[in-house]
Structure 1
Amino acid sequence: MTIERSTKILAGIFTVSGVIHLVRPQAYEPIMPAWVPAHREVIIGSGVAEIALAAGLLAPSTRRLSGWGSVALLAAVYPANVKMATDAAARGNKPLAAAAVARLPLQWPMLKSALKAARG
């Protein structure tokens, strides 16, 4: 069973992002919504989840489950991405706001790849 190119790309994105979450969790703290408890622990946990999902996406026996897990993770972190964009705009940081807003639609191809893996 071959791995779709989009699944490999998603696994790569999750791996890189997961490592950054573990190595530099403080980079993610400013974008955490206030209603999320234990910011540092959630950041570390999401990094571990991203790495685990990346590995699962690459293994045929766990690809479907990891695809659904990837869908859930992408949905769960979307509010933080929206918060990053709105905070940057509110602070008047035009370059960061532009980058953050431009990043939001990039979540959709990732979601599409995760759904493709989940559906087999």
Structure 2
Amino acid sequence: MAVSTPGRAHTYLSGLLFVMGALHFLAPKPFDGIVPPALPGKARTYTYASGVAELGVATALAVPRTRRFGGWLAAALFVAVFPANIQMAVDVMGNPKSPKAFKLGVLARLPLQIPMIIAALRVAKR
């Protein structure tokens, strides 16, 4: 998997986080929909806050001086957003209108957090 390539993990993670962070502002509605309803306040607040966090972590990973710290931040961010990924899976699996391929993709996404966390930790430990 390309993300685990030792010399490039920071580049892949930074690019991924930058794109996803920007999408939180360009198309926030899908992100609002996966904010766990148990959280207090408005979903849009969490969408924007996580977008800011993703852009900040992307920047930390991209800058050599802050890259190691960015790795720690990325690992923490991937753990922090995991409840939203679970919420998405619960919602999609419970929707009889969701296509099977989409359901499979959403389920497959959950364990993919593990290699992303591992890649972030490798960046942090370099």
The answer to whether the superposition gives a TM-score over 0.5 is yes
Of 100, 106, 121, which residue of structure 2 is paired with 1:115? 121
Of 55, 62, 68, which residue of structure 2 is paired with 1:58? 62
SS at match of 2:65: coil
Q: CA deviation at 1:95?
A: 2.9
2:3 aligned residue: none
SS at match of 1:62: helix
Of 33, 38, 44, which residue of structure 2 is paired with 1:40? 44
Structure 1 Cα separation of the partners of residues 31 and 64 of structure 2: 31
CA RMSD of aligned residues (A): 1.4
Structure 2 gaps, min length 5: 1-5
Alignment TM-score, normalising by the size of structure 1? 0.90
Mapped contact 1:86–1:97 kept (Cα < 8 A):
no
Q: CA deviation at 1:79?
A: 0.9
Structure 2 Cα separation of the partners of residues 68 and 57 of structure 1: 10
Structure 1 gaps, min length 5: none
Alignment TM-score, normalising by the size of structure 2? 0.86
Structure 2 Cα separation of the partners of residues 11 and 73 of structure 1: 12
Q: CA deviation at 1:68?
A: 1.1
Of 2, 7, 13, which residue of structure 2 is paired with 1:4? 7
Give a deviation string over 1:38-73, Cα, whole Å, max 9, x none.
311111111111111111111121112111111111
1:49 aligned residue: 53
How many residue pairs were aligned?
A: 118
Query: Relative to structure 2, which stretch is displaced further, 39-48 or 90-99?
Result: 90-99
Mapped contact 1:22–1:48 kept (Cα < 8 A):
no
Of 80, 101, 120, which residue of structure 1 is paired with 2:107? 101
Structure 1 Cα separation of the partners of residues 9 and 69 of structure 2: 16
Matched, 1:21 2:21: no
Structure 1 Cα separation of the partners of residues 35 and 46 of structure 2: 9
Q: CA deviation at 1:78?
A: 0.6
